[in-house]
Amino acid sequence: MTPRPEYPRPQFRREPWINLNGTWTCELDFGKSGIDRKLMLSRGFDREITVPFCPESRLSGVGHTDFIEMMWYHRIIEIPFGWSSRRVLLNFGAVDYECEAFVDGASVGRHWGGTSSFSFDITDSVTPGSAHHLVLMVRDDVRSGRQPGGKQSRNYASAGCHYTRTTGIWQTVWLEAVDPRGLRSVHIIPDLDSSRLIFIPRYRSVARNSRLEIEVKSGSTVVARVEARAVDGVPVSVEPASPRTWAPEDPHLYDVEFSVYDGETLVDKVRSYAGLRKIHIEGNRVYLNNSPFYQRLVLDQGYYPDGIWTAPSDEALRKDIELASAAGFNGARLHQKVFEERFHYWADRLGYLTWGESSSWGLDLSTAQAARNFLSEWREIVVRDRNHPSIIAWSPLNETWQHAGARQHGRVHIDAYDLTHSLDPTRPVNDASGYIHYLTDLYTVHNYTQDPEELRGALDPDREGGVFRNFPELDAPYAGQPYIIDEFGGIGWNPEYVPASSETDRSVSWGYGDSPRSFDEFYARLEGQLRAVLSAAHVCGFCYTQLTDVEQEQNGIYFYDRGAKFDMDRIRAIFRLERS
């Protein structure tokens, strides 16, 4: 059975396509000599690997957890004879970090960025009705400081809040056939106040007789249909009859079908969906569909015991959302990882709010190369995911440090903020989660004070210092933005391992502060912390660390295998406490 067989791009579904997941062969190139050895000409390597799982994972069948700075993949691809009049696209959900693809030894494309999706047009290198050798070279130097790595450990072993690395292919690979006059992408912008959806199409090429037809359905009922000339980048507005909003309590999605015609000939058909919703800021509050709402988020790292960054199944992605909702959260801050599009699909369907974030940890932003690598990848991330109604904020960076270049550091923050707004003006941007802020729509702080009364005192604004800031001497002054504690808690708890003191080996069971000595002590501390946060009038949302344990970091409200760690009814009651 093909692993991860579902279509990987739910908001841009096209037929025909071929899933390339399954058995490939590979070589771990520790000497980084593969180019000299002409491995791009390979007809198969000695070791098998199961794609789309990274070689560090158990599901890949390899399970090599030491550093892999270079590796190679091979498989045979067969191009259907019926694709002879179309462009053939080789699509990758994500490959960490740099890669180059070869077909029968000839290079067909290179990409930089470990978490963004990309495509190579391989039409000129393949023959419909024939088989070809596909080779992929991967470079991944997570210790360089010049590429985003997220929570991947820079040391041999996992420790603290750093975990097993991910190298190479870690999302679905597939082939797709598209007409030369077909769609390249469609940017969907919901306009709640005008009860319309705006579509901005981009085409692979445009002919004088080309036109675009858009059909919008609510369930099985067609609620709008429009036709327009196919003009690259020109918006098309659609007003659904009896408009219905997307909201957490009613996550209504419209099914959308895009059809491109050349004269009377249908040349492309793409299926998508859209949600009619609005997110904006007024004063120090965030509004959803023109009503203020309080964000009760959980930190989600998106790691899995058997797949590392890759969920073992589509059902596992949905289950994580259901587990978070059952625990009392209305959304998640997706932390130091760019989640695959199937996760966002389930968030859209289930009414689960999320913040999109990059895997920025590990970057030395004082270097120009690191800054370029980051901004280039972040652009691809925002463009890929901006159509999802469940995403309500962007957070390009997390807990950044100035290192040796404070001016360059600040410049990257401001560039990331401006770039994000230029690509998506409809959502607020949090330039850096926690610290250090330069230019931001949301003012976020991290506070892991474990004693509830001390936390309450820390969050109580004072006349001289104002609100709590992580680094008052470095942070931009607080200017009245929505103020959110987007990391707190992190209470370490493993009922089978209660350390005698904080000096106990924390590589075994890591969390913030001293571990509670009993379930009752855990519940009391958690409830005390929640009441401290909820009592702060200027706070308009929180994010609790975290949804699940991850390896040695055992401060989740679920175990790493997603088993229940606590009385979840009691946990839900705590996280749903009313504000005082």
What pTM, to 2 d.p., does this model score? 0.97
Q: Tokens in use for 181?
A: 């006059």
pLDDT > 60? residue 140 = yes
In the chain, what are the domains? 22-171 (2.60.120.260), 183-274 (2.60.40.10), 289-575 (3.20.20.80)
State how far the Cα of 523 lies from the Cα of 520, in Å rounded to an integer.
5
Mean pLDDT of 21-27: 98
Tell me the pLDDT tens digit for each residue of 241-257. 999 999 999 999 999 99
Tell me the pLDDT tens digit for each residue of 431-487. 999 889 999 999 999 999 999 999 999 999 987 889 999 999 999 999 999 999 999
Tell me the pLDDT tens digit for each residue of 514-549. 999 999 999 999 999 999 999 999 999 999 999 999
147: preceding bond cis by omega (within 30 degrees): no
Q: Give residue 497's pLDDT.
A: 62
Element (H, E) at 53: none
Query: What amino acid occupies position 534?
Result: L
Helices 568-575 and 519-534 cross at an angle (nearest 10°) of 20
For residue 519, report the phi and psi dihedrals to the nearest 5 degrees: -60, -45
Tell me the pLDDT tens digit for each residue of 164-222. 999 999 999 999 999 999 999 999 999 999 999 999 999 999 989 999 999 999 999 99
How much is the CA Rg of the chain, to the nearest whole Å? 24
Distances (CA, A) of 239 to 154, 190, 191: 51, 10, 10
Collapsing DSSP to helix, strand or coil, 148 comes out as: coil
Query: What amino acid occupies position 231?
Result: V
Collapsing DSSP to helix, strand or coil, 333 comes out as: strand
Handedness of CA 56, 172, 199, 121 (dihedral sign): positive
pLDDT > 60? residue 502 = no
